[in-house]
Structure 1
Amino acid sequence: MAWEIVAIWAIVVATLVWFRRDEDRERSKALAEQARYFATAPRYRHRHIPRSEPLAETPPQAMVHRRYLDLLKSSGPAPSAARPG
């Protein structure tokens, strides 16, 4: 009687393991087909398209900020405020 229960459980476990492996194999097969399609389809191939218009020039406000920062750099270290003592 005990061996029959063990045999039933062995069959159940073997069936579940077999089912799981088969499902994983099918899923990976479908994923490989999708990957192959996206890797080789002409629609998804990388094509470099050169820009027809030049890059935008630096806005005037950024130029003002750049000149201000350059002025701060060229003036040297800021004088330290005298501490009341």
Structure 2
Amino acid sequence: MLLQLMALWGIVIAAIIWFVRDERRLGAEAASHYAHAPKYGHVAVDEPVAVPVPAQRVGELTEPQRKFLKAFAETN
């Protein structure tokens, strides 16, 4: 009986070790693939692209805006 339990635990421990080693190997292979694949390589940009700044509004509020703000101020 004791020999059978030791054999069972030996198989369980061997399976767990085998699983962990295989998962680490698969992770390393995936990392190696993404590190060296040209599809995922760095693409250099010659010049930074300027983001257009929206034009600032000049002037006062429109009539509907004034009415809304006035009604909002009165309710609070």
Say yes or no: TM over 0.5. Answer: yes
1:31 maps to 27
* Unpaired runs of at least 5, structure 1: 65-85
Shift of 1:49: 2.2
Bigger radius of gyration among the two: 1
2:52 maps to 56
2:43 is aligned with what amino acid? R
1:41 is aligned with what amino acid? A
2:40 is aligned with what amino acid? Y
- Higher-RCO chain (CA-CA 8 Å, sequence separation at least 6): 2
* CA RMSD in angstroms, aligned pairs only: 2.3
CA distance in 2, matches of 1:13, 1:6: 11
Shift of 1:32: 0.6
Tell me the secondary structure at the aligned position of residue 50 of structure 2.
coil
TM-score, with structure 2 as normaliser: 0.64
Identity in percent: 15
* Unpaired runs of at least 5, structure 2: 60-76
